[in-house]
A and B are shown apart, each in its own frame.
Chain A
């Protein structure tokens, strides 16, 4: 229909940065952007829920909450951020924990002061722990239990992983683990993982590297290096047998969820898998939406996406079968479309389309200093901050052959886990 252009990334601007390391092992990255009055201040700790003890899950995230409850010299973290006209937040994943502040550049030292103090030591107390346990349990409820269907992720992780800590999600296996967490466990967790030599600091905005270096030396320099012990993570053996589970919940409609094991974030397999998920379900024109929703009316809504994780991750498909479509038929329809990745091969245009989408997403991710700072920290954790500029080439290099080969390897029955999420209301 149209004369399609070739994928071009000539417009993509480079993100320039300087990098240095303090004597205590803290890695520091500085990105200068003179166009904004805002500075982004990002600290990433290389610890996530995969580092937790299987009997005390959810600790990394509970801990993230305690980081806001006061450090050894400063009792009211949030108030000082607000006084400095800033905003802040944090998130925890299975692989890392990320804290960020945005504030006017005039007040940048406040960020150094606050973040260095909570890297130095926290002001732990039973009372604060008790309250944050309550908050986290309500977060657990709000996000996973009081939301129809949302518990499927908890169940899927358990189904797909048997030895690797990805078998529990970041929020934890259940609320009991959070309820029974002890103060000593929290302290041990902190002193083991929250160390300058286990962290990456990124400062992005209208700043000079020299200025950041001086402030970093002043505030973070005196923090002692710590002996961080990381548990060896068991590798998940190759799954050979299909995993299936039917569960019944008080929801109005049936749903089906599938997961396939895929490669880790830096494997070649990752980029092909990401593009496959886009071919299947990114945008209205994608295969699953067009074929299964619009043409065949087998689903009312269906999506595919991946979990990019440091260790081998999962490729998900989730769908709501239309009225009268059985689980068996729904499952067949999905498998059919997954196999169509090689039986009805992806065209050059289709591949260009999803690569164009990746380009757009990348451009979008660079509109503000906060996104840039988070990306730089993330890529540095993966091993090289400059991936922020070059990772797109890895997508660029994926060929139609790679797509077919990856799909063939991944979408096998033995590699699959399926949840049939049955509506109890439908029986009535």
Chain B
């Protein structure tokens, strides 16, 4: 028998033809634009509405998120308990989620229960009454949660970085305990009636989409009341407040939360893919420069990452890590060194090839089935790009050169704008 040569790797195929799914797009009867992707063998659907109703749309803190969270807290016809009983009974899931730009609500259910649940789903979106008693409970519980969360160095670091990078923009607004007590049901009802209508939202449907399901969606969501589209004011993103490290001391912390960042380009920008690839080289995968240096060579952290956090009005270039106490400044130096190296030296063909293959695989996996594709579809809906974003990304991954990456680093890695936040010891 021929002996096996284990030192020789099997031949690897570079994948060059990823099939980015095509969405079914259209409008419901009342004008709600929808994007749908059907597939999978499990008979369930995920139905997701995105409203222009995030934190950005109110001058008062917390109004966006409380309105969104409290959609399940009662309508004229159903109490909060009846609502949650019904969704739970059918094994379905209602999720609400509010970010600075958008308020989201989704229903996840087996197809066979869609006709039983969609009418109630629409009712809570259109006819929520925000009972006083429910607001009281929600405020008390959220205040507790806030207090608990603000013990964590991660939350403190996240907020501090936003303050350093998005100063004066509503994105940097953070709620304090007193803000919870200022909430009233009237404010929420006002905000709700202005923002939760069929002209101010977009619909995404993924899963096993049958004609029956579409008919039910049309006769429920397609009948939701109309209203006015709300457009957010365009706020200016200011300059980075300071590039001097902001240190928040927390003596009890065993680890230090380190964040670095600056405002950067948005998804629509022609350089976005290049910057995304560059940040993958720096700290976007296990074999990245930062992971190799700080975790695998030095053992200072369990993980470190670099990425672009997306917002409608800006992007945030961010590097994040939980670092061994006492080593934060050393890690800051190493991060800067790695960034400088990307500005000074083109990356090798070998590394570029590795990143290409890795990112291609990532893209294939992100579109493996309708449910996993949802996150990618959401990005297009929420940040005003279309699915060609992903074919462009794929092309850029395959064609980007070392020179392009170096130029991108020189353009967007600007130490004069890079804020540093350190929360913990040192």
- Residues on A close to B: CB < 8 A? 1-2, 4-5, 8, 11, 13, 35-38, 72-74, 78-80, 82-87, 102-104, 106-107, 109-110, 112-113, 116-117, 120, 130-135, 137-139, 141-142, 145-148, 218-219, 222, 250-253, 282-286, 290, 293-294, 297, 300-301, 320, 322-323, 349, 352-353, 356-361, 363-364, 366-368
Query: Are A356 and B365 within 8 A (Cβ)?
Result: no
Query: Are A87 and B80 within 8 A (Cβ)?
Result: no
Interface residues on B, range: 35 or more
Residue of A whose beta carbon sits closest to that of B133? A294
Residue of A whose beta carbon sits closest to that of B78? A1
Q: Is B137 an interface residue (CB 8 A)?
A: yes
B87-95, B161-169, B259-267, B408-416: which lies at the A interface?
B87-95
Of the candidates B86, B110, B353, B358, which one forms a contact with A363 in the assembled complex, judged by CB atoms under 8 Å apart? B110
Query: Are B140 and A322 within 8 A (Cβ)?
Result: yes
- Of all A-B residue pairs in the complex, the 8 with the closest CB atoms, nearest first, are A134-B299, A85-B361, A360-B91, A356-B91, A284-B84, A109-B10, A283-B88, A300-B144
Complex Cα distance A358/B91, Å?
8
Query: Are B301 and A82 within 8 A (Cβ)?
Result: no
17 sampled A-B residue pairs with Cβ under 8 A: A2-B89, A35-B369, A38-B364, A73-B7, A79-B354, A86-B361, A87-B361, A117-B6, A120-B6, A146-B424, A252-B147, A283-B87, A284-B84, A290-B84, A297-B140, A363-B43, A367-B40
Residue of A whose beta carbon sits closest to that of B109? A360
Q: Is B302 an interface residue (CB 8 A)?
A: yes
Residue of B whose beta carbon sits closest to that of A112? B10
Query: Are A138 and B300 within 8 A (Cβ)?
Result: yes
Of the candidates A133, A250, A361, A367, which one forms a contact with B369 in the assembled complex, judged by CB atoms under 8 Å apart? A367
Q: What residues on A are CB-neighbors of B369 within 8 Å?
A: 35-36, 367-368
Query: Are A104 and B362 within 8 A (Cβ)?
Result: no
B interface secondary structure, majority? mixed
Query: Are B151 and A251 within 8 A (Cβ)?
Result: yes
Complex Cα distance A375/B365, Å?
19
Residue of B whose beta carbon sits closest to that of A12? B42
Residue of A whose beta carbon sits closest to that of B324? A138
Known: A148-B152, A352-B89. A363 touches B287 (CB 8 A): no
Q: Is B252 an interface residue (CB 8 A)?
A: yes
Query: Are B91 and A73 within 8 A (Cβ)?
Result: no
Binary contact track B260-300/A, C-beta < 8 Å → 1, others 0 = 00000000000000000000000001110000000111111
Complex Cα distance A285/B286, Å?
41
Q: Is B322 an interface residue (CB 8 A)?
A: yes
Shortest beta-carbon distance from A328 to chain B in Å: 20
15 additional contacts (CB under 8 A) given A35-B41, A106-B13, A294-B137: A4-B89, A11-B43, A13-B41, A82-B355, A83-B12, A104-B15, A133-B299, A134-B298, A134-B324, A135-B302, A146-B255, A252-B151, A297-B137, A356-B89, A364-B42
